[in-house]
Amino acid sequence: MKTALGKCWALSGALLAILSVRVAADDLDAMSRDDKQWIMPAKNYSANRFSGLNQINAGNAGQLRVAWTFSLGSSHGQEAAPLIVNGTMYVVGPYPNELFALDAVTGDLKWKYTPNTDPASQGEACCDVVNRGAAYDNGKIFYNTLDNHTVAVDAKTGKEVWAVKLGEISRGETMTMAPLVAKGKVLVGNSGGEMGVRGWLTALDENTGKIAWRAYSTGPDKDVLIGTRFHPFYNWEKGKDLGVKTWPPGKWKIGGGTVWGWIAFDPKLNLIYYGTGNPGPWNSNQRPGDNMWTTAVFARDVDTGQAVWADQLGPHDLWDYDEINESILLDMNIGGKQRHVLLRPGRNGFMYVIDRTNGQILSADKYDTVTSASGVNLKNGRYQPVMSLAPTLGKTVQNVCPAAPGAKDWQPTAYSPVTHLLYIPHQHLCMDFKTSEVGYIAGTPYVGATVDMYGGPGGYRGEFAAWDPLKRKKVWALKENLPVWSGTLVTAGNVAFYGTMDRWFKAVDARNGKLLYKFHAPSGFVGQPVTYQGSDGAQYVAILSGIGGWAGAVGNAEIDPRVRAGALGFNGATQDVPQYTSGGSALLVFSLPRAPSQNNGKNNAKPH
Amino acid sequence: MRSRISAAALVFALTLACSAQAENTLRVCANPNDLPFSNTKGEGFENKLAELVAQDLHQAVSYTWTNEHEHFVRKTINAGKCDVLMGVPAGFSEVDTTTPYYTSGYVFVSRKGLNLNSMRDPRLRSLRIGVHLIGDENTPPMEALARQGITQNIIGYMIYRDTQVKNHSRLIDDVAAGKVDVAAVWGPLGGYYATRAAAPLDVALITDTGRFAPAMFQYPIALGVRKGNADLRARLNEIIAHERPAIRNLLRRYGIPMVETPARAAG
């Protein structure tokens, strides 16, 4: 780490400028340690979604009850994490992407901001018109709208401070991810890998919205921001312009690798970490080559965007395994040495432990059923696909596990420094490819492959698992009938929270998975639970209920569940969702019942 | 401050206005900017065909315009927003289909003199070939090219985007301008835009495709009705049988390449 730091400082010309900007980062980093608040979707830069609050704990979580609720009014998939900053809760809805500010204790609506989101953007989103949340810094709330704007809204007044357009819906681009703010930069990326979009991550000045840098996922080094600081750990990832050379000529220009997932930040190393989406829109047999840097993890200098290392987790992706999943930053003792690692539950079903200083893959273990790869070669860092399972027109390929959404998709995990376990909400799905009957898109008939997904071995489709990263094994797991498409949260009270697509909000004992509490919500969950302490001293847990997203699109009646191959093949695996839920948009806030003494006095003025 | 000219909102408003007068109309779902098939000005051959069919039914045409791509069928006719789609492959499983009213095929569009029609022509290894992209599935010519290992000289054009930005002509324009040597495209697109191109172009149905099955190169095209709407389908079948000469003339006027004896029926 020391050497990496030294290099970083030696190479940064404008040391003073960097130092002065660092103040903002320190503020946000410090704020994120205040467990009364939840100021970014991942809770903190390490992205562990852990809160030190313990008023709600394994001993009393069974008494949880709903404190208040709020309806966002747009019944699409509710994937956003609410933020709680200085006593106010901020929550962003799916298209049309309204932002609501609520009193975090009473639920009173303070203001609402309605962006002018272009309705045409709805037709471009591949997998429901979701939004994964907002970010906060220096009195402003930042988030993305489906039609490719990043907006900054005054956190007090709800007035728009700036709005910048970063992409084109007419090119198939949309934006759904939650930004990360670090050192005065708002980091945002695009969606739409199947639509001929070239993926990018863009850093905006938080005060003006002006683009500070943009790093493409494909193309020449100058576009990918690969320069003298780039030192990938493995030899096959070294070389000039690999983002061009690993594609047939020109195909990188619309090669996918979108950035619609999570970003973590290590303030000491000054590096951000994020993954890129699948290659597209080319069928794999029309894009021979490693298709760099799609399905890859990047480490970049937050100030300049310059890449420091990258690992391409899925060279020449065959099964749509986006690698946009979260990275959790941990310091772990591995083989007697303290290593600065990032933990990454890959879409491909492998739990990666990567040295975040240099990109070395230290281990990659299966955390769910994997038939599509034999493993990851730790000598050269290469994923080993099972080529006999490659989708081929005219050939039926069966039992590809995990299915296209991966063993885990975007839904983020949480890590507890108390139990030293990683909590993984995920799906347990396999898929078949078979040549379909005639298809028809935009005036062009063709014969393509039908993807059919179904529950993996054991017949269940989802799981909430606890993983020990040191022992590299699953400690316990709760099987769920449907994919677990919600995020999770773990607390010092040893409670982990998640929601299911069949409408159950659950609190489980983080040590052993014992169910402590469940609540039957208005609609299924694809959201992210957060926790905070109100000005009344009570600990609250908040999550959005509202089925949707890729897995849940069938649940909000957008798709005819009889068509097994709808929603890019997901319906087969989730076609019974309408038996459990329909769409919704309810924010649910839970707390423990108040002690009678507490109710006297300060809370009388605010009945709820 | 953020100026968004919302074409879709306008279209939506128009749609509402149209569906208000729903009684005794032929309710058609169509793409608002998708020539030669349809546009909001009624200039596409599917617009003309809708008028012809509606006339025979003693109805007026009302449109629901949708810029959807892969979810078009489920969000339009199968959501009850209309009763007829004017062009779907015969046997298309998401709807019930009528008797086909024409059969077309994938074509090579090239500058005069190249005389290209075989899918196994060795020149395909070196010519710059433009194709339409439809998500991450291959069109039949792309599949045939990939299976011959022809991947280095393929240039992709997103078909979805073109229907929104202007029209499908960009690929054919690039053939005329010499930016690509040949386009491998669905016949109605190739034929229509080739006749309007800036340079003389050849349009040839692609041959020697047998070994690339199950990729099919020719498709009979029919009208689509909602599953179970046997009544409407029967009436439409009568009209198709009765109007066959008029329909053929219409398609000829639009330069649609037609297969006289279909190689095989889709299904």
- pLDDT, one tens digit per residue, over A583-602 is 999 999 999 998 654 444 34
pLDDT value of position A602? 43
| Residue scoring higher pLDDT (A605 or A384) | A384
- Domain assignment present for B259: no
Does the pLDDT value for residue A576 go beyond 70? yes
Average pLDDT in chain B: 87
Catalytic status, residue A323: no
- Domain assignment present for B266: no
- Domain assignment present for B2: no
Does the pLDDT value for residue A97 go beyond 80? yes
Catalytic status, residue A325: no
How far apart CA B97 and CA B91 sit, in angstroms, is 6
pLDDT value of position A38? 98
Does the pLDDT value for residue A6 go beyond 50? no
How many beta-carbon pairs under 8 angstroms link A with B?
A: 174
Does the pLDDT value for residue A336 go beyond 60? yes
**Proportion of chain A above pLDDT 90, given as a percent:** 77
Q: Which chain A residues are closer than 8 Å to B215 by Cβ?
A: 393-394, 446-447
Q: Does A211 touch chain B (CB under 8 A)?
A: no
Q: What are the pLDDT digits (tens) for A410-453?
A: 999 999 999 999 999 999 999 998 887 787 776 788 888 888 88
Q: Which chain A residues are closer than 8 Å to B266 by Cβ?
A: 437-438, 445
Instruction: Tell me if residue B191 falls in helix, strand or coil.
Output: helix
How far apart CA A132 and CA A77 sit, in angstroms, is 10
How far apart CA A74 and CA A99 sit, in angstroms, is 12
Does the pLDDT value for residue B15 go beyond 60? no
Q: What are the pLDDT digits (tens) for A139-183?
A: 999 999 999 999 999 999 999 999 999 998 888 899 999 999 999
Q: Do B30 and B81 fall into the same domain?
A: yes
> What is the mean predicted confidence (pLDDT) over A215-229?
98
Q: What are the pLDDT digits (tens) for A423-434?
A: 999 999 999 988
- Lowest model confidence (mean pLDDT) among A299-308, A586-595, B165-174: B165-174
Q: Do B133 and B163 fall into the same domain?
A: yes
At the second CATH level, the architecture of A2-599 is 8 Propeller (2.140)
Q: Do B186 and A123 touch (CB under 8 A)?
A: no
Q: Do B66 and A123 touch (CB under 8 A)?
A: yes
pLDDT value of position A440? 78
A530, A488 contact by CB (below 8 A)? no
Q: Do A438 and B92 touch (CB under 8 A)?
A: yes
Give the residue on B whose Cα is nearest the Cα of A150.
Answer: B2
**What ipTM was estimated for this complex?**
0.84
- Domain assignment present for B262: no
Provide the strand spans (E) within chain B: 25-30, 33-34, 38-39, 60-65, 84-89, 96-97, 102-111, 129-133, 154-158, 182-186, 201-205, 218-225
Q: Residue A157: CB partners within 8 Å, gap ≥ 6?
A: A111
pLDDT value of position A149? 97
pLDDT value of position B184? 97
Does the pLDDT value for residue B80 go beyond 60? yes
- Domain assignment present for B124: yes
Beta bridge partners of A330: A341
Catalytic residue among A194, A221, A355, A536: A194
| Domain with B148 in it | 103-212
Give the residue on A whose Cα is nearest the Cα of B214.
Answer: A394
Q: Does A439 touch chain B (CB under 8 A)?
A: yes
> What is the mean predicted confidence (pLDDT) over B216-243?
96
Distance of CA A330 to the CA centre of its chain: 18
Does the pLDDT value for residue A393 go beyond 60? yes
Catalytic status, residue A147: no
Place of tokens 């983080």: A510
> What is the mean predicted confidence (pLDDT) over A476-501?
97
Q: Do B240 and B192 fall into the same domain?
A: no
Q: Do B27 and B88 fall into the same domain?
A: yes
Q: Is A148 left (phi over 0), alpha (psi -120 to 50) or beta?
A: left
> What is the mean predicted confidence (pLDDT) over B177-203?
96
pLDDT value of position A376? 98
Strand pairing category for A185-189 and A200-205: antiparallel
pLDDT value of position A550? 73
Average pLDDT in chain A: 90
Disruptive mutation site among A316, A444, A564 for chain B (greatest number of B CBs within 10 Å): A444
Q: Do B45 and B116 fall into the same domain?
A: no
Kindly state the helix (H) or strand (E) to which residue B72 belongs, with its residue range: helix B72-75
> What is the mean predicted confidence (pLDDT) over A498-520?
97
Q: Do B12 and B97 fall into the same domain?
A: yes
Q: Do B143 and B236 fall into the same domain?
A: no
pLDDT value of position A445? 86
Find the CB nearest A116 among B2, B136, B140: B2
- pLDDT-derived band at B261, boundaries 50, 70, 90: low
Disruptive mutation site among B136, B158, B206 for chain A (greatest number of A CBs within 10 Å): B136
- Domain assignment present for B31: yes
**What angle is formed at CA A567 by the lines to CA A562 and CA A384, rounded to 5 degrees?**
120
How far apart CA B31 and CA B13 sit, in angstroms, is 15
Q: Which of B145, B106, B115, B130 is nearest to B180 (CA)?
A: B130
- pLDDT-derived band at A48, boundaries 50, 70, 90: very high
Q: Do B33 and B78 fall into the same domain?
A: yes
Q: Do B193 and B145 fall into the same domain?
A: yes
* CATH code of the domain containing B151: 3.40.190.10
Instruction: For chain A, state the CA radius of gyration.
Output: 22
Give the residue on A whose Cα is nearest the Cα of B38.
Answer: A443
Give the residue on A whose Cα is nearest the Cα of B220.
Answer: A445
How far apart CA B223 and CA B100 sit, in angstroms, is 7
- Domain assignment present for B260: no
Structure tokens at A34: 């205040």
> What is the mean predicted confidence (pLDDT) over A388-392?
93
Q: Which of A120, A80, A121, A123 is nearest to A98 (CA)?
A: A80
Catalytic residue among A278, A325, A494, A571: A278
Does the pLDDT value for residue A204 go beyond 90? yes
pLDDT value of position B66? 84
Q: Do B134 and A446 touch (CB under 8 A)?
A: yes
DSSP states along A396-436 = -EEEESS-TT-SS-S---EEETTTTEEEEEEE-EEEEEEEE
Find the CB nearest B165 among A170, A254, A286: A170
The last residue of one of the domains, among B163, B191, B212, is B212
> What is the mean predicted confidence (pLDDT) over B193-198?
94
- pLDDT-derived band at B33, boundaries 50, 70, 90: confident
Q: Do B194 and B230 fall into the same domain?
A: no
pLDDT value of position A571? 64
pLDDT value of position A126? 67
Q: Do B12 and B94 fall into the same domain?
A: yes
Query: A294: distance to nearest CA of chain B, Å?
Result: 14
Q: Do B146 and A444 touch (CB under 8 A)?
A: no
Provide the number of structural domains found in chain B: 2
A 223-282 → B contacts, CB under 8 A: 248-251, 254, 280-282
